[in-house]
Amino acid sequence: MSGLGELRVVLRRQSRRSGAPRRPGRSDRSAYLFLLPWLVGILGITLAPIIASLVLSFTDYDLLQSPSFVGWKNYQRMFDDPNWIAAAQVTAKYVVVSVPLQLAAALGLAVLLDRGMRGLSFYRSVLYLPSLLGGSVAIAILWRQVFGTRGLVNALLGLFGIQGQGWISTPDTALWTIVLLHVWTFGAPMIIFMAGLRQIPQMYYEAAEVDGAGRWRRFTSITLPMLSPVIFFNLVLQVIGAFQSFTQAYVVSGGDGGPANSTLFYSIYVYKQGFVNLHMGYASAMAWVLLVVIALVTAVAFATSRFWVHYED
């Protein structure tokens, strides 16, 4: 047989083998073995509690006795609960105010640092540090001391002859101290913005500058549209995280919702109902309402993104 004929026979055999279903080999079993801890974790630690909370949301359960089925009463109870309404309002206000302010601060600093300066790595590390520490209990306690009656803020105001107040103990200002703490942790979105800015081709800015476009026009016509996918990514992440804020508000407010429930975040109220009042069925129902709200807000964000998010071809 000639060399060409042998080549044809080999190619036919290879095509027949490739069309047959491949049997799982040792490499597949090894892959599943390495994935086993993750599968156990996702099924036993995440999925099972989610399903259990859904079942408990239709029951009256106090953690001490067996749950009893009550149907939709836990969900109906929310609309007659003034504390639940207050918690929903506080959380909505927190999300609407803190997320845009944080993203604006992160984007502004990212644009400033993107211009290049000496010691850029040092400044980037220093500005990222609040994101690492902002969610800790220690920083929340420090924040409570800074805005206390004898805290640093009132001491600085006293230098100018201004009488301070208890910023955390006053209903009109308590929530804004937590908003400021959230804005202060802008490091993570700032780093993501800086990575996005590095992907914008400089030729666009050069062409716009030749046409006489100023800095603001270049920012609004080039930077924002080209950076819109990164803005959308940060927006979704920060909104989801803001809805679930717990540690900062719990420590700063002392765990009681603050004065006149001004810092009664939704997650704090879920915790109080479930583990303080032992109304676990009611807490589970509230948790599922929060899940549905986050899913709806995220869905709206994705649905509206096609009007303002621009992806490069």
**191 with 225, same domain?**
yes
Least confident among 94-98, 127-131, 159-163, 283-287: 127-131
Q: Which of 135, 85, 99 is nearest to 298 (CA)?
A: 99
Whether 22 and 159 share a structural domain:
no
Of 265, 268, 248, 258, the residue nearest 140 (C-alpha): 248
Please indicate, yes or no, whether residues 212 and 134 belong to a single structural domain of this protein. Answer: yes
Q: Is the pLDDT of residue 187 over 70?
A: yes
The per-residue pLDDT for range 89-121, each reduced to its tens digit, is 999 999 999 999 999 999 999 988 887 667 677
pLDDT in tens, 48-93: 889 999 999 999 998 888 999 999 999 999 989 999 999 999 999 9
Phi first, then psi, for residue 68 (nearest 5°) are -120, 135
Cα 96 from chain centre: 13
Residue 276: pLDDT over 60: yes
* Rounded Cα–Cα distance for residues 265 and 90 (Å): 6
Statement: residue 3 has pLDDT above 60: no
Q: At residue 69, what are phi and psi to the nearest 5 degrees?
A: -70, 130
State whether 123 and 33 are in the same domain: no
Residue 138 and residue 280: Cα distance in Å, rounded? 29
- 224 and 256 co-located in one domain: yes
Q: How far is CA 254 from the centre of its chain?
A: 23
Question: Which domain does 17 fall in, by range?
Answer: 3-50
For residues 165 and 254, give the distance between their C-alpha atoms in angstroms, rounded to a whole number. 18
Asked, for residue 118, whether it belongs to a domain, the answer is yes
- Whether the per-residue pLDDT at 133 is higher than 80: the answer is no
Helix 280-304 vs helix 48-56: crossing angle, to nearest 10: 110
Is residue 283 included in any domain, yes or no? yes
Residue 66 lies in a domain: no
**How far is 115 from 112, CA to CA, in rounded Å?**
6
Residue 13 has pLDDT above 90, yes or no: no
pLDDT reading at 12 higher than 70:
no
CB of 238 within 8 A of CB of 103?
yes
**Residue 282 domain flag:** yes
Contact 145, 138 (CB under 8 A): no
Q: Are residues 29 and 148 in the same domain?
A: no
- For residues 272-288, average pLDDT: 94
Does residue 30 sit in the same domain as residue 149? Answer: no
Query: 14 and 118: one domain?
Result: no
Same domain, 38 and 141: no
pLDDT at 99: 95
Is residue 150 located within the same domain as residue 213?
A: yes
For residue 289, pLDDT over 60 is answered with yes
Rounded Cα distance between 40 and 20, Å, is 32
**CATH number for the domain that contains residue 191:** 1.10.3720.10
More confident residue, 117 or 247: 247
Cα separation, 260 vs 86, in Å, equals: 10
Instruction: Indicate the Cα dihedral angle 229, 230, 236, 241, nearest 10°.
Output: 170
- Average confidence score pLDDT of the chain: 85
The sign of the torsion formed by the CA atoms of 73, 76, 82, 83 equals positive
Q: Rounded CA gap, 10 and 7, in Å?
A: 5
| Structure token pair of residue 132 | 């690492």
Is residue 154 assigned to a domain? Answer: yes
Q: Looking at residue 51, what is its pLDDT?
A: 92
In-domain check, residue 65: no
- For residues 299-303, average pLDDT: 95
pLDDT > 90 fraction of the chain, expressed in percent and rounded = 43
**Choice between 1 and 227, residue whose per-residue pLDDT is larger:** 227
Same domain, 268 and 121: yes
Per-residue model confidence (pLDDT) at position 134: 66
Per residue in 15-50, pLDDT (tens digit) is: 555 554 555 556 678 888 888 888 888 888 888 889
Please give the tally of structural domains in the chain: 2
Higher pLDDT, 280 or 129: 280
pLDDT at 11: 53
Does some domain include residue 79?
A: yes
pTM for this entry:
0.83
**Residues comprising the chain, all counted:** 313
Are residue 113 and residue 251 in the same domain, yes or no? Answer: yes
Return the higher-pLDDT residue of 233 and 1.
Answer: 233
Residue 56 counted as domain residue: no
What pLDDT does residue 54 have? Answer: 94
Q: What is the mean pLDDT of residues 134-159?
A: 81
